[in-house]
Amino acid sequence: MSESVVTTEKKPQAGKGEPLLQVENLKKYFPITGGVFQRRVGDVKAVDGVSFTINRGESFGLVGESGCGKSTIGRTLLRLNDKTDGKVTFNGQDLHSLSKSEMRDMRTKMQIVFQDPFSSLNPRIKVGEAIGEALVDHGLVSRRDVKQRVIETMKICGLAEYHYDRFPHEFSGGQRQRIGIARALIMNPEFIVADEPVSALDVSIQAQIINLMSDLQSEKQLTYLFISHDLSVVEHLCNRVGVMYLGTMMEMAPTDELFSNPLHPYTKALMSAIPVPDPTVKRERIVLQGDIPSPANPPSGCKFHTRCPMASDICKQQVPEYRDMGNEHFVACHFA
Amino acid sequence: MEQPGNPTEQLQEQLKIVKAESPWRIAIRRFAKNRLALIGLIILVIMFLLCFIGPLFSPYTLNQTNVGNKNQAPNAQYWLGTDKLGRDIMLRVMLAGRISLTVGLVATAISVVIGAVLGAVAGFYRKYADTIIMRIADIFLALPTLPILITLGAILSDLKIDPGKRIYFLMLIIGLLGWVGLARLVRSQILTLREQEFMQATEALGLRDGRKIFRHLMPNTIPIIIVSATLGVAGAILTESALSFLGLGVVPPTPSWGNMITAANSLIDFRKRPWTWIPPGMCILITVTAINLIGDGLRDALDPKMKSR
Amino acid sequence: MAKELVEFRNLETHFSTSAGTVKAVNDVSFSIREGETLCIVGESGCGKSVTAMSLMQLIESPPGKIVGGEILFEGKDLLKLNKKEMSRLRGKEIAMIFQEPMSSLNPVFTIGKQITEPLLYHLNMSQKEAKARAIELITMVGIPRPEKIFDSYPHELSGGMRQRIMIAIALCCDPKLLIADEPTTALDVTIQAQILDLMRDIKSKMNTAIMMITHDLGVVAEMADFVVVMYAGKVIEEAPVLELFKDPQHPYTQGLLKAKPVLSQRKERLYSIPGQVPNPVDLGDNCHFHDRCEFCMEICKTKKPPLRTHADAKHKTACWLYEEEGKAQ
């Protein structure tokens, strides 16, 4: 493929803006109940002390495998879940200390696009209403002007005016995802959490949605938290990337730095596990042994030590420090 | 990527994209394919026409007695014969139908409103609201319905309430005792629905609770409400008949199907004059069967398992 | 050149629906050779799963029906076999693994029971022999402590383990053909890498032909010897894997390759194929890709292109761009 491949050149460095969202030592535990009386017998430590900052105008990627807590972070920082501990600051305000009505106003500024375009739309509500209802409910636009606004937004998202009166089941996955994006976008938010927005879509449709999202970002100066299990999508779309494993941030760096110089063995393994669509490339790949441990009972020390090809005794006993390696590159590994 | 499921399901998933139909339209189409349910619907419509329009064509009036023509077998003048006071049975059956059907519908409407609202509130707010409402429901469920109704019926008789007004009390009582089942159904449905992603979306959009409940959750429970209400009408008609038969529901001279069957209590009427009690009995049987057929048809048409995602 | 194991000849599988007939598999022909890994790639609804289900004759009827064509397995037409002969063949000669390893294992039986079942049924082994063989198989698919796994239930295993068990069950009668329907789609990337390694390993050890269905071109590049690209029920291109990636001919194949973001090859903008997969009901006799194709010509809208060899002997493409009629325009 002789496309204009940009390997070294960076995307416009938007990461230099002021911080929009700060997550400090966020923890989210889900209780496990058991026994006859449904007593709490343990915790699933879905998110276990994660910190990061997202600057205005950048897109921050969170990558990891199932059970690493990336989706829980997205939901907790939008307060769709309660937190267990830690602090989320948005525009200088501590989100989890806001009252219900303050939070309701705040929701116009921060939105989410869900993974499953099928279950994230109410099957009994027409598309036009689904997109516009929040505007009306928040009293942002008068009832008369809503339709106009909805249709404008639908067009921006690549939908046609005649889609207004249709039901979600009449649309394909890709179109539904466009509806989901329009619904988030109509409030003119500053920040959007995109929770695996393309992983339920076909390849050719994935590319459409990814392009749409990056167009919208540059047009509207949006800030994204982009959650995905697919490193290649994240590399394409994000300025900075955090790699998570079992509720902990393992490595975080600007995209180009991370992909050219991965320091954590887990990041390296993830990168080498992705099949490359080129049969002539026969790489020596790092195949991780074993399964992902359960977040209810994570390994001691470094959570990755059970599968790590470099693991030694210190990894079993000591939690590695999350260190700054320079170049905004952070890593939690004894050997980095 | 693939949607999970076998190829047939995937294909059907794809086909849904093709059809430009609302979920309701699809349900109606499915219902129309169900022959038994259609027959039920036709019978019920005929029953309603008969009861509400039929009496207008009758040459007789409700309480017009004609002792000279008492206890006549069906004949050209009195199509279904007369009772022991010489009243036309045909007219009485039709007017009794008005009462019975109205009681059934209104009582069900009362229990649907109470059941749906309480169920929705319990399911949506959970915690205290849920506990309180569901414990009240448990109490209602633990009450022995028939003895209560009989007691209440006796109290009504004791209070010497005008027979014409008595049916309003009857509707209210039957309605108040019938909401528990629906409340539980709605509650469990809402508990499932609120975990769906589209409800998380409403939370993320910051919609008001009222809108979440009435615009997002309730429309998704309407199928089960409809089915349960339909079957509830049949149940209410039966309850009303049973009470009236026992002399505790609708009392003479106001006719209802239940109190007309009381004629069968008299040995002579039972053996010699079957036309006095068979017609109202048949009406109950036919109406309740028809409603149940419709209810089953609706359940199939609106089955949540087949519901488009 | 290895012998042909399976040959699809003009297979037609249709589904009748209230909206009309869906030609889910529409005149599909290709063959799988012994010991070869063939990948069918395409997007959802392109008919790749239905093709595999037709081979296994697991199409639900109604609404589905194989209305034409032949499926030759070692020269025998599978469509002419009766139910009993077919069920002997399934599991013994042809085995299948699915995308969702949880739903394809029965939750109430132990793993051991589910592995030994086909051994008892197809190979008439005794309980004892079957158990020994089962443990051998569990070891072979790379699961430690096979005796313990033998007595556990599906829910006690992780997704990757379950998929390994599915592979063990599929392999227990030493099948000539293994059909794998999106075997790694539901798994995490690091687990996917393990399973792909395992499948490659098995293929080289047992010389089983693999028919793999996937949407992921990366998986294709890693696994396939030969690739069939399907779109809207038709084969639009087929070629040996190196050839296909070096010289993709059909605009759809080219688009798919360009649309996928590739690690460490960042582009300013992803190429995207415009539009949607067409409505599968009552597709016309034309090129089904024409409304999304940037090279669309008049002839594409009216006439269907034949699947023909153009450059390399084994590389076939169904596209008017490479035909005389098309070049004339």
Q: Which residue of C has its CA nearest to B2?
A: C44
Beta-carbon count within 10 A of C73 CB: 19
Q: What is residue B21's predicted lDDT score, i.e. its pLDDT?
A: 61
Q: Which residues contact C180 (CB under 8 A, 6 or more apart)?
A: C96, C97, C199, C210, C211, C212, C213
CA-closest candidate to residue C6, choices C26, C40, C29, C33: C33
Beta-carbon count within 10 A of A162 CB: 9
Mutate to test the interface with A, among B10, B190, B205, B222 (most CBs of A within 10 A): B205
pLDDT one-digit tens code per residue, B162-213: 777 888 888 888 888 888 989 999 999 999 888 888 888 898 888 888 888 8
Q: Is the peptide bond before A19 cis (omega within 30 degrees of 0)?
A: no
Q: Which residue of C has its CA nearest to B13?
A: C45
Task: Report chain C residues whose CB lies below 8 A from the CB of A4.
Answer: 267-268
Whether residue C267 and residue A65 make contact (CB cut-off 8 A), yes or no, is no
Q: What is residue A242's predicted lDDT score, i.e. its pLDDT?
A: 93
Q: What is residue B16's predicted lDDT score, i.e. its pLDDT?
A: 47
Mutate to test the interface with A, among C48, C263, C268, C269 (most CBs of A within 10 A): C263
Q: What is residue A169's predicted lDDT score, i.e. its pLDDT?
A: 81
Greater confidence (B21 vs C155) lies with C155
Q: Is the pLDDT of residue C237 over 60?
A: yes
Neighbours of A (≥3 Cβ pairs closer than 8 A)?
B, C
Using beta carbons and an 8 Å cutoff, which residues of B are at the interface with A?
Answer: 1, 3, 14, 16-17, 19-23, 196-198, 200-201, 203-208, 211, 215-216, 219-220, 307-309
pLDDT one-digit tens code per residue, A222-235: 999 999 988 888 98
Residues 35-54 of C with CB under 8 A from A: 43-44
Neighbours of B (≥3 Cβ pairs closer than 8 A)?
A, C
Task: Report chain C residues whose CB lies below 8 A from the CB of A66.
Answer: 188
Task: Report chain B residues whose CB lies below 8 A from the CB of A107.
Answer: 204-206
Whether A116 is in a domain gets the answer no
N- to C-terminal Cα separation, chain A: 35
Neighbours of C (≥3 Cβ pairs closer than 8 A)?
A, B
Whether A204 is in a domain gets the answer yes
Task: Report chain A residues whose CB lies below 8 A from the CB of C270.
Answer: 207, 210-211, 236
Distance, in angstroms, between A98 CA and closest chain C CA?
A: 37
Tokens standing for residue C197 = 């390694």
pLDDT one-digit tens code per residue, A119-165: 888 888 888 889 988 888 888 888 888 899 999 899 888 888 888 88
Whether residue B204 and residue A78 make contact (CB cut-off 8 A), yes or no, is yes
Distance, in angstroms, between A271 CA and closest chain B CA?
A: 21
d(C-alpha C256, C-alpha C237), whole Å: 12
Q: What is residue C84's predicted lDDT score, i.e. its pLDDT?
A: 85
Task: Report chain B residues whose CB lies below 8 A from the CB of A106.
Answer: 206
Query: Under a CB-based contact definition with an 8 Å cutoff, are residues C212 and C40 in contact?
Result: yes
Q: What is residue B1's predicted lDDT score, i.e. its pLDDT?
A: 34
Whether A115 is in a domain gets the answer no
d(C-alpha B93, C-alpha B80), whole Å: 9
Whether A118 is in a domain gets the answer no
d(C-alpha B177, C-alpha C162), whole Å: 51
Angle, alpha carbons B150-B152-B158 (nearest 5°): 105
Give the CATH number, domain containing residue A40.
3.40.50.300
Using beta carbons and an 8 Å cutoff, which residues of B are at the interface with C?
Answer: 1-4, 6-8, 10-12, 14-15, 17-19
d(C-alpha A303, C-alpha A294), whole Å: 11
Q: What is residue B67's predicted lDDT score, i.e. its pLDDT?
A: 72
Q: Is the pLDDT of residue B252 over 90?
A: no
Q: CA dihedral in degrees (C190, C192, C195, C201; nearest 10)?
A: -80
CA-closest candidate to residue A291, choices A107, A65, A112: A65
Q: Which residues contact C320 (CB under 8 A, 6 or more apart)?
A: C287, C297, C299, C300, C303, C305, C326
Distance, in angstroms, between C247 CA and closest chain A CA?
A: 9
Whether A256 is in a domain gets the answer yes
What SS3 state is found at C16? strand
Whether residue B308 and residue A201 make contact (CB cut-off 8 A), yes or no, is no
Share the mean pLDDT of chain A. 85
Examine the predicted complex and report whether its ipTM is higher than 0.90: no
> What amino acid occupies position B121?
V
Q: What is residue A230's predicted lDDT score, i.e. its pLDDT?
A: 87
Task: Report chain B residues whose CB lies below 8 A from the CB of C19.
Answer: 15, 18-19
Q: Which residues contact C252 (CB under 8 A, 6 or more apart)?
A: C229, C231, C236, C237, C273, C289, C292, C293
Query: Under a CB-based contact definition with an 8 Å cutoff, are residues A217 and A237 in contact?
Result: no
> What amino acid occupies position B307?
K
Question: Strand A93-94 relative to strand A191-195: parallel, antiparallel, unpaired?
Answer: unpaired
Q: What is residue B306's predicted lDDT score, i.e. its pLDDT?
A: 44
d(C-alpha B170, C-alpha B177), whole Å: 11
Q: What is residue B106's predicted lDDT score, i.e. its pLDDT?
A: 92
Share the mean pLDDT of chain B. 81
Residues 117-136 of A with CB under 8 A from B: 118-125, 133-134
d(C-alpha B74, C-alpha B251), whole Å: 25
Q: What's the mean pLDDT in A182-190?
A: 90
Q: Is the pLDDT of residue A7 over 50?
A: no
d(C-alpha A259, C-alpha A64), whole Å: 15
Task: Report chain A residues whose CB lies below 8 A from the CB of B22.
Answer: 167
Task: Report chain B residues whose CB lies below 8 A from the CB of A105.
Answer: 206
CA-closest candidate to residue B279, choices B73, B112, B26, B114: B73
Share the mean pLDDT of chain C. 85
Task: Report chain B residues whose CB lies below 8 A from the CB of A200.
Answer: 1, 3
Query: Under a CB-based contact definition with an 8 Å cutoff, are residues A198 and A210 in contact?
Result: yes
* Number of separate domains in chain A: 1
Whether residue B4 and residue C99 make contact (CB cut-off 8 A), yes or no, is yes
Task: Report chain A residues whose CB lies below 8 A from the CB of C43.
Answer: 202-205
Q: Which residue of A has its CA nearest to B15?
A: A170
What SS3 state is found at C9? strand
Q: What's the mean pLDDT in A209-230?
A: 90
Query: Under a CB-based contact definition with an 8 Å cutoff, are residues C109 and C134 in contact?
Result: no
Tokens standing for residue A328 = 């905004």
Distance, in angstroms, between C272 CA and closest chain A CA?
A: 5
Of the candidate ranges C28-37, C184-193, C246-255, the one whose mean pLDDT is the lowest: C184-193
> Does any CB of chain B come closer than 8 Å to the CB of residue A188?
no
Whether A215 is in a domain gets the answer yes
Distance, in angstroms, between A228 CA and closest chain B CA?
A: 15
Q: What is residue A16's predicted lDDT score, i.e. its pLDDT?
A: 58
pLDDT one-digit tens code per residue, A31-82: 888 777 777 788 888 898 899 999 998 999 999 888 888 889 998 989 988 8
d(C-alpha A194, C-alpha A4), whole Å: 27
CA-closest candidate to residue B198, choices A123, A185, A191: A123
Q: Which residue of C has its CA nearest to B29?
A: C18
Q: Is the pLDDT of residue B93 over 80?
A: yes
Distances from the Cα of A126 to the Cα of A120, A169, B16, B84, C171, angstroms: 13, 10, 15, 61, 49
d(C-alpha B21, C-alpha A166), whole Å: 8
Mutate to test the interface with A, among B13, B25, B192, B197 (most CBs of A within 10 A): B197
Band (pLDDT 50/70/90 cuts) for residue B42 is very high
Q: What is residue C82's predicted lDDT score, i.e. its pLDDT?
A: 84
Of the candidate ranges A174-188, A280-294, C224-238, C287-301, the one whose mean pLDDT is the lowest: A280-294
Greater confidence (B73 vs A25) lies with A25
Please identify which residue in the block is written with the tokens 């598309």. A127
d(C-alpha C45, C-alpha B18), whole Å: 13
Q: What strands lie across the sheet with A93-94, from one edge to the other?
A: A39-55, A19-34, A85-90, A93-94
Whether A249 is in a domain gets the answer yes
Helix (H) or strand (E) holding A46: strand A39-55
What SS3 state is found at C24? strand
d(C-alpha A253, C-alpha A10), whole Å: 13
Cβ–Cβ pairs < 8 A, chains B and C: 54
> Does any CB of chain C come closer than 8 Å to the CB of residue A38?
no
SS3 content of chain A, % helix, strand, coil (to 5): 30, 25, 45
CA-closest candidate to residue B298, choices B205, B199, B232, B223: B223
Of A103, A108, A120, the CB nearest to B201: A120
Task: Report chain A residues whose CB lies below 8 A from the CB of C241.
Answer: 279
CA-closest candidate to residue C244, choices C221, C263, C264, C266: C221
For A64-103, b/e burial (b = at least 16 CB within 10 A) is bbebbbbbbbbbbbbbebebbebebbbbeeebbeeeeeeb
d(C-alpha A275, C-alpha A182), whole Å: 33
CA A262 from centre of chain: 20
> Does any CB of chain A come closer than 8 Å to the CB of residue C9?
no
Distances from the Cα of C193 to the Cα of A217, A272, B218, C36, C221, angstroms: 33, 9, 45, 20, 13
Q: Is the pLDDT of residue B2 over 70?
A: no
Distances from the Cα of C174 to the Cα of C135, C138, C184, C209, angstroms: 15, 14, 22, 11
pLDDT one-digit tens code per residue, B233-248: 888 888 888 888 887 7
HSE at residue A127, side-chain half, CA atoms within 13 A, is: 30
Q: What is residue B54's predicted lDDT score, i.e. its pLDDT?
A: 81
Q: What domains, with CATH codes, occur in chain C? A: 4-93+175-327 (3.40.50.300)
Distance, in angstroms, between A277 CA and closest chain C CA?
A: 4
> Does any CB of chain B come closer than 8 Å to the CB of residue A108?
yes
Whether residue A134 and residue B219 make contact (CB cut-off 8 A), yes or no, is no
Task: Report chain B residues whose CB lies below 8 A from the CB of A103.
Answer: 206
d(C-alpha B307, C-alpha B12), whole Å: 12
Rounded to 5 degrees, φ, ψ at C32 are -115, 130
Range of the domain at A210: 19-109+189-332
What does DSSP assign to residue C75?
Answer: T
Task: Report chain C residues whose CB lies below 8 A from the CB of B17.
Answer: 279
Please identify which residue in the block is written with the tokens 């006439």. C303
Partners of C200 in the β-ladder: none
Whether A122 is in a domain gets the answer no
Rounded to 5 degrees, φ, ψ at A66 are -60, 145
d(C-alpha C248, C-alpha C14), whole Å: 29
Whether residue A279 and residue C245 make contact (CB cut-off 8 A), yes or no, is yes
What SS3 state is found at A242? strand
pLDDT one-digit tens code per residue, C130-140: 888 888 888 88
Q: Is the pLDDT of residue A12 over 70?
A: no
Task: Report chain B residues whose CB lies below 8 A from the CB of C22.
Answer: 11, 15
What does pTM read for this prediction? Answer: 0.80
Whether residue C215 and residue B4 make contact (CB cut-off 8 A), yes or no, is no
For C225-258, b/e burial (b = at least 16 CB within 10 A) is bbbbbbbbbbbbbbbbbebbbeebbbbbbbbbbb
Q: How many helices (H) and strands (E) does chain B have?
A: 14, 0
Q: What is residue A3's predicted lDDT score, i.e. its pLDDT?
A: 42
Band (pLDDT 50/70/90 cuts) for residue C329 is low
